[in-house]
Every structure is written in structure tokens, then in C-alpha cells.
Chain A
Amino acid sequence: MAPLALYQGTNTNFCGYAALSYLPLHEDPLGYTRFLLTLYCEGKATWGNVHFDPSPSVRRAAGTLRFKGILDIRPADQLWFLVLADHFRSYLNLLTRHFHPGAENTFWAAVNYGKFNRMIRELFGYRVQAKGSDLIRPDIPDLYDYLTQCLHTGLTYLYVNNTYLHKKNHNKFKGHFPTHFIVLDAIHKIPDQPDMVDIIYWDYGGRTLRQVTLRFLKKITFGVTVCIKQPPPVAPTAGPAPHS
């Protein structure tokens, strides 16, 4: 499967899980495949230090989600998203604790900023450098410089207000909170237009290039997460055998 084609499904709240999947699909696709096969065959599996034992309702639902676009014919992706949503919980999921048909479109599957960063740390063992929150935008004086630096440091996620980025209606009053995770791939200034930038980002199973003003980018960005790969633990070097 092409890693970039992973699609969260139409009208679901799986965007956080789809975004974080970008990491294993690029860094450890074999581990991802092994995990899903074990989960499918045995009903439970372990990734890193996290053991997944999905609830019966999630086991029944995996593979049966419909009317979600190409996710309809990708049962393994359905299984992955449902299992992540079932296992990792946060305050956003308090009111809808258990899966029921249609819960994938509700707060049952929602991901807030803290939970997103926690999932990356616990699952993949990356060091996470996060700036932002669920309600207040981070204070970053020079967003362009900061994001450029982040892109040099590691894989960079943006936690954004999608009602502006991917507009679905023309209502004057929009929610002023973040709703979507995207992977930032590149950012470039446009010559002769000091306030305009080209951003390239990944979401909804594809990469997009879009011209936006820095003001707009600042307005929609509520979190910037950089994932830094940790060096493997150094094995103790074998010293000379002690003289007896």
C-alpha cells in the first residue's frame, strides 16, 4: 500500500489517527503490517509498550464501516483507526465512552492535542517537542522561521482549525478551536510577496500545496509538534576480561 494514500474516511473523526500513522508507515511499514496481522489473527497485539485488546463492539465493527469513501474497502485501516480510538482516551471522549455504530463520526473518536502527542510518544518512542494547546494559540513571533526550523529538526505536525483551511460552508461565525491534524512537509516564502507562503502538507490521503498568508497560517495554527527519532539504546561495550 502507498503510505501517502492512507485515508481517514469521509466525515469521521479519525484525522488524528491517520496523521500519526504517517510515522510508522514511513519509518516502520513492516512493523505496522506485522502488528495489524497479529491483531487480525489473534484479536490482540502489542506495539512498543502498548498492549491493545479491543472491545467486542470494536472487533465487530472493524471492516463494516460504510459510506466513508475509499475507507469502505480498506478493512485493515478501519481496524487500525478503531483500535487506536478504543485504546487511547482523553477528556474529549468522556461523554461517549463506548463504541456504537456511527461513533466514528462523534467525540468517541476525537483526538485532542495532549492525546495526540501522548500516542506518538507511547507508541513509537519518539521524543515529542510540542508547542500549543486545545484552546489557545501558541505565542510564536516568527512563525515562518519557527516552522522552517521544525522541519529541519523532525517530522512536523500542525494542529489546525480546519473550518478555515478546508472550508465546508460560508457561515460568518466559525468555531475558534482546532479540529484537524496535518503533516507539514514544506514551507516556502513567495518571492515579492513577503506575507505569502506556499505550504505543502499531507492530509486526507494526499499532499496539497496551498498559498496562504502568514497571518492566516498563524490564525489557524493551535499546535506545532515535532517528532524526533530517539537513537537506539547503546549496548554496553564489552571491555577486556578482568584478570583473574
Chain B
Amino acid sequence: MTTQSPLYHLFLLAILVSAVSCTSLNITNYYHKHRSTLDGMEQIYLDAYNTKPFSIEFTDRPFDHVSLELLTDTLTYIYEFAVGEPRLRDTLFKYGYNPAPINTLIKNMRSMECTWINHLDYYADETRHSLIYISLWPKTFDLPFVNKKYYILTYFSQPQYFDADGNLMTGRRLRRIRKINGETFRKINNKVCYTISAQFR
């Protein structure tokens, strides 16, 4: 048996790392595969947010720690909890939140590897509109020494305008690519768009 040089092994490792780091998921397929869960999450969040506004962030890769932003008229409260910690339920009660939808969301976000769900305002023709912003952090994007990447899904409340390449536009008449949170988005369907971003929010 011939012994390979360390350089050869290093070369193989470099090829392996670059191959893995180029791996990507097809977000459209991913969305359609998990559509019922993702759309369900959006609906639960929207209903709960309209009752009392909040956002949820998972702060670690094992999805064991969750940070809640509870929005009131005067102050935003940010608290971090371990998932399942009784303190979480107590806090929600203290600030008048219904724990049931939030617990369901936390469970679904964990199963979908969703790191952030939020309600975002954007402006078109001087008018305020809103969307739901969901950031997914699938394992494919979690490689050592490689900067993290996130799939971002945006749920609009009404159908949007797109160019021939599927880029989200500002409107039917004003043909300009719309940016949300500094990113350009592409079409999944008339109301749902996606992008891949280095930031989850």
C-alpha cells in the first residue's frame, strides 16, 4: 500500500470543504415541501401579534435558548429563556400574553430550524404596509469556519409585483426593485418571497 503525502490529504480536505460550502438548498422546493407548517407558523404568529405584538429569536444552534421581544407602547422587553423553562410562561402571563400560540410557535420554529420571526413595516407610496419576516437556519448553512447564511421568507398581506426574472418590485407603474432590510427578494408565489442572507434580521 502506498502512503499518501500530507499535502495530498490537505488537498482532498480542501476539495471536500469547498464542495460542502457550495451546497445549497432549493428554497422554493423547501417552501413547498414544508408549506403547511411554514404557512401555519405565519398564521399563528400573525393572529397572536395582532392581539399583542412580540417577536421570537432562537439564540443558539441547538435551538435550546429562545429570546422574546415583548412590545408595549412605552418599552420593548427582551428576555432570554431556556426552552420549556417555567419562567417563560410566568413572564408571558405577567405581560398579558397568551402562552398557547407562543409555545406552539416555539415548538414549530424548533422543528423548522427557524431562528427569527418578526413583523416588519415597509412603505409604498407613503403608505405603511406590513409583512411577516421568517428566518430559517437549515443545517446545510451551518459549517465551521464559514459565515452563517439564512433563508428569509417574507409573507405579504397582498399580492406583489415582480419583474420577468421574479425579482420583487416596488409597484406596477414604478418599476424599481424593492429592498427589504437591505436585501432583494425573489418570488415563490404572489404573496411569499425569499432571499438568502448573511443576517437573520
Contacts and interface: CB of A to CB of B under 8 A. Distances in A.
Contacts of A209: 75-78
Contact of B200 (A69, A168, A206, A208): A168
Contact of B181 (A10, A73, A170): A10
A211 B76 contact: no
A67 B180 contact: yes
B26 interface: no
Interface stretch (B5-13, B102-110, B118-126): B118-126
B201 interface: yes
B96 to A, nearest CB: 16
Contacts of A210: 77-78
Interface size range of chain A in the complex: 20 to 34
A1 B199 CA distance: 31
Given A208-B78, A209-B76, A210-B78, A170 B148 contact: yes
A208 B121 contact: no
A168 B199 contact: yes
B76 A206 contact: yes
A53 interface: no
A51 to B, nearest CB: 32
A143 interface: no
Interface size range of chain B in the complex: 20 to 34
B123 A69 contact: yes
A208 B147 contact: no
Contacts of A167: 57, 59
Contacts, number: 58
Interface string A162-190: 00000111110000000000000000000
Given A70-B123, A73-B123, A73-B126, A207 B181 contact: no
A167 B201 CA distance: 8
Nearest to B120: A69
B173 to A, nearest CB: 15
Residue of B74, B123, B126, B150 with highest tally of chain A CB at under 10 A: B123
Contacts of A69: 121-123
Given A70-B123, A206-B76, A169 B198 contact: yes
Given A67-B180, A70-B123, A73-B123, 12 more contacts: A11-B181, A67-B182, A69-B121, A167-B57, A167-B59, A169-B150, A169-B199, A170-B115, A170-B148, A171-B148, A208-B77, A209-B78
26 contacts: A10-B181, A11-B182, A67-B178, A67-B179, A69-B121, A69-B123, A70-B121, A70-B123, A73-B123, A73-B126, A73-B128, A105-B182, A169-B148, A169-B198, A169-B199, A170-B61, A170-B115, A171-B147, A171-B148, A206-B75, A207-B75, A208-B77, A208-B78, A209-B77, A210-B78, A211-B78
The 10 A-B pairs with the shortest beta carbon distances in the complex, nearest first, are A11-B182, A168-B199, A67-B179, A72-B123, A210-B78, A208-B76, A170-B148, A209-B77, A207-B75, A169-B148
